[in-house]
Amino acid sequence: MTRFKSLSVVTAGLLLAGVAHASALEQFKSFVSSTKAAKGEFTQRQVKSTNGETPKISNAASGSFVFARPGKFIWTYSKPYEQVLQADGDQLFIFDKDLNQVTVKKLGDALGSSPAAILFGSNDLEKNFTLSEGGTRDGMEWLKAVPKAKDTSFEQINIGLRNGLPEAMELKDSFGQTSVLKLSKIEKNPALSATSFKFVIPKGADVFNN
């Protein structure tokens, strides 16, 4: 029994080592193909740099997320303000708790070349993004994703991976601003009910359709 246990530990170690040394693209494709749903926590900072000045870093926002492919997710900001972005596969609901206001948008093709598609879209990422290796930094292998569509507000998205999981994202827009996301406590393929992503309009909320 001890021999078999030791062998299983060694095998698991070799598999983990293989994932750790895999390229960013290999790790990401493996994550996408093996992950139909996931949940976790995040922190987000905005970094703005103009005219060669020292970058200005905003205070961190934080919260949690859960997603199920394709196109279903709940992205919840808990600090410094409460806001929920929720998609049921057809529509996107943006709920501002302080204003008790809900904005409803068609999900449509807008998800295709957006940062949300990286985690929440279909498995066919190369249809909407040009993917390439971004080197090693901060102990992670980085993947560079450039949207193929010309009308997206993002110029480039970098994804940092370690041990087969995305741990960081850098979203660079055309205005010289970068959103830096740190992902943690990721749980792959959690049990989700059929109604997990059904959005219920809060009582008394103002609703705007865009």
pLDDT at 20 over 70: no
Q: What is residue 127's predicted lDDT score, i.e. its pLDDT?
A: 81
Burial of 54 by CB count in 10 Å (0-12 exposed, 13-18 middle, 19+ buried)? exposed
Query: Residue 93: its pLDDT value, please?
Result: 94
pTM: 0.80
Dump the DSSP string for the chain: -HHHHHHHHHHHHHHHHHHHTS-HHHHHHHHHHH-SEEEEEEEEEEEE--TTPPPEEPPPEEEEEEEETTTEEEEEEEESS-EEEEEESSEEEEEETTTTEEEEEE-GGGGTTSHHHHHHS-S-GGGTEEEEEEEEETTEEEEEEEES-SS-SEEEEEEEEETTEEEEEEEEETTSEEEEEEEEEEEES----TTTT---PPTT-EEEE-
My answer on whether omega of the bond before 115 falls inside 30° of 0, hence cis, is no
Mean pLDDT across 70-87? 92
Calpha distance 206→57 (Å, rounded)? 33
> Per-residue confidence at 189, pLDDT binned at 50, 70, 90?
very high
Query: pLDDT tier at 121 (50, 70, 90 boundaries)?
Result: confident
Name the β-bridge partners of 154: 173
Which residue from 170, 177, 175 is spatially nearest to 137, judged by alpha carbons?
170
Domain boundary assignment for the chain: 22-209
22-209: what CATH class?
mainly beta
Distance CA 58, CA 121 (A): 28
User: Tokens 């068609």 correspond to what residue?
Assistant: 106
